[in-house]
Amino acid sequence: MMQYKRVGASGLRLPLVSLGFWHNFGDSARFSDIRDMVLGAFDLGITHFDLANVYGPPAGSAETNFGRVLREDLHAWRDHMVISTKAGHQMFPGPYGEWGSRKHLLASLDQSLKRLGVDYVDIFYSHRPDPETPLEETMGALAQAVKSGKALYAGISKYSPEDTKKAAGILRGMGVPLLIHQMRYNMFDRGPEQGLYDALREEGVGAIPFSPLAQGLLTDRYLSGIPADSRAAGASVFLTRDSITEDVLRRVRGLNELAADRGQTLAQMALAWLHRSPVTASVIVGASRLSQIRDAAGAQENLSFTEDELRRIDELTAQ
């Protein structure tokens, strides 16, 4: 049975592991593989599916493919799911295709609903802060999405601690609580520990980290070096060959040994580590095959850490 955690001060609960559609769910993937991963995840109790207007590739295709699975296989289970989507990164050229204007956010949400084939999404996010649009306008668009019934909850992604507090206050004044913040966070990227988690705790907002496995670095993928077919060996700008030094590999191997002592895979330990904070409501994992999702779901079997284990992890991941 999948475990669920309450999101901040809300009544919503999310599975400890959520399935993200950033890569491997667009038209470049086989639909049969997408279907197997979605249905397999749902059978494991993973009820939260995280999308965005730009996910694919190409942009929009992940929503279209998930909508097809929903229509053909899971339509009877819609009320058992949490479906989220986002707007803010560039979806199409021109002045209205990105950022945080009311025009972009609400138009993008309507487009997402059509691709998904649903009347509403459970969570609608501002995908990134807009340095030029007033925060009041961006939050106002999220509030309208909720009040119109096209979204049940409002979320933000990649906002600073200061802007997170401001956003929460603006939404609160509009009668729409800020539910959740989505940020990059893993053992090697500790940015959210520099004030963001404190802000979320103070505001009663839940956290849902993405990239919890550091683009695959916190798995058994790189224990023996850089495989020829890996992300780091390709053209990825998020995990490059140059960033995987022998010192990094030494640290990863040390983490893997610690995970084995805990009776876990490295990926499972990395996911469990993020749940050591009650602020973390769920973690978003990507996948290219169902076995990876099954492994991630197994993280819930050991969520506790000793002080010695946490100290060892800090030593191995100190930058």
Share of the chain above pLDDT 90, in %: 89
Domain with 199 in it: 4-223+266-303
In which band, very low, low, confident or very high, does the pLDDT at 235 lie, cut at 50, 70 and 90? Answer: low
What is the mean predicted confidence (pLDDT) over 197-202? 98
Please indicate, yes or no, if residue 275 is contained in any of the structural domains. yes
Q: In the prediction, which pLDDT does 236 show?
A: 59
What is the mean predicted confidence (pLDDT) over 278-295? 97
Please indicate, yes or no, if residue 69 is contained in any of the structural domains. yes
Q: In the prediction, which pLDDT does 226 show?
A: 66
Q: Is the pLDDT of residue 84 over 60?
A: yes
Please indicate, yes or no, if residue 210 is contained in any of the structural domains. yes
Q: In the prediction, which pLDDT does 244 show?
A: 80
In which band, very low, low, confident or very high, does the pLDDT at 94 lie, cut at 50, 70 and 90? Answer: very high
Q: Is the pLDDT of residue 230 over 80?
A: no
Q: Is the pLDDT of residue 253 over 60?
A: yes
Q: In the prediction, which pLDDT does 241 show?
A: 63
In which band, very low, low, confident or very high, does the pLDDT at 223 lie, cut at 50, 70 and 90? Answer: confident
Q: In the prediction, which pLDDT does 155 show?
A: 99
Please indicate, yes or no, if residue 251 is contained in any of the structural domains. no
Tell me how far CA of residue 9 lies from CA of 58, 136, 309, in angstroms.
36, 22, 30
Q: Is the pTM of this model over 0.75?
A: yes
What is the mean predicted confidence (pLDDT) over 198-217? 97
Q: In the prediction, which pLDDT does 238 show?
A: 60
Q: In the prediction, which pLDDT does 80 show?
A: 98
Tell me how far CA of residue 199 lies from CA of 52, 93, 162, 255, 293, in angstroms.
25, 34, 8, 29, 31
Q: In the prediction, which pLDDT does 128 show?
A: 98
Q: In the prediction, which pLDDT does 43 show?
A: 98
Q: Is the pLDDT of residue 229 over 70?
A: no
Write down the residue that tokens 């940020």 correspond to. 183
- Supply the CATH number for residue 278's domain: 3.20.20.100
Mean pLDDT, the chain, integer? 95
Q: In the prediction, which pLDDT does 224 show?
A: 73
In which band, very low, low, confident or very high, does the pLDDT at 245 lie, cut at 50, 70 and 90? Answer: confident
Q: Is the pLDDT of residue 162 over 80?
A: yes
Q: Is the pLDDT of residue 239 over 90?
A: no
Domains contained in the chain, number: 1
Please indicate, yes or no, if residue 229 is contained in any of the structural domains. no
Please indicate, yes or no, if residue 295 is contained in any of the structural domains. yes
Please indicate, yes or no, if residue 311 is contained in any of the structural domains. no
Please indicate, yes or no, if residue 239 is contained in any of the structural domains. no
Q: Is the pLDDT of residue 132 over 70?
A: yes
Q: In the prediction, which pLDDT does 296 show?
A: 98
